[in-house]
Chains A and B, each alone.
Chain A
């Protein structure tokens, strides 16, 4: 079975500071992992995905994530936060049949 835990339902950073959103997964098979972003009252947009090709994955809007098998983690980072990064972020692991199992989400606030 697969599951995802996102540590911290709310993260607040200052503009220009490092963004770190934490995601730990559990999977009985080699995992495929995803990060999505959701702006208020909108659908989800894919930021990046890990499909075993490389452990450091670069995505859109300057985000990247590193797959660490020993730590069962897939944390999302961005070196310098922008006001436009304020949104909710979801980590997900792929289950059987292409289903996605989502974490609870982390709301990112960016202070000026």
Chain B
């Protein structure tokens, strides 16, 4: 079955630690996205990548980093610089992120819930 997987489902982090959230897709999608979800705030874009080896900051990139070395994978690292990382993180992908891709829906993974202890 094609889809997007995120791991782990639950993650606990101590203050000062970096953690990496995994996102893998086998949909052959070019574009991938990371969102942060907090209660009552909808989804906010952290980073996105329209093609391998390229990515751009979203609206709330501070304290986060990403890489896109393979088409299938878009891991997100939450660094110690992120002051309030406790949230639900969602990864998504779509067929194209370029100008022709505005009508393409995004497909979402099941999410990772990160809690800082």
Contact = CB atoms under 8 A, between A and B. Distances in A.
Determine which residue in A32, A36, A46, A97 has the highest number of CB atoms from chain B within 10 A of its CB, and name it: A97
A98 B111 contact: no
Contact of B102 (A43, A98, A102, A105): A98
A21 to B, nearest CB: 14
Contacts of B48: 97, 99
Interface string B79-108: 000000000101010101111011111111
B98 A43 contact: no
Interface string B48-76: 10100000101000000000000000000
Given A9-B40, A42-B110, A43-B111, A99 B105 contact: no
Contacts of A46: 105, 107
Interface in A73-112: 90, 94-100, 102-105
Contacts of B111: 41-43
Chain A, interface SS category: mixed
B21 interface: no
B90 A104 contact: no
B110 to A, nearest CB: 5
B29 to A, nearest CB: 10
Interface of A: 9, 32, 34, 36, 41-46, 49, 51, 90, 94-100, 102-105
Given A43-B6, A46-B107, A98-B101, 16 more contacts: A32-B103, A41-B113, A42-B110, A42-B111, A43-B92, A44-B43, A46-B105, A97-B31, A97-B56, A97-B97, A97-B98, A98-B102, A98-B104, A99-B33, A102-B42, A105-B40
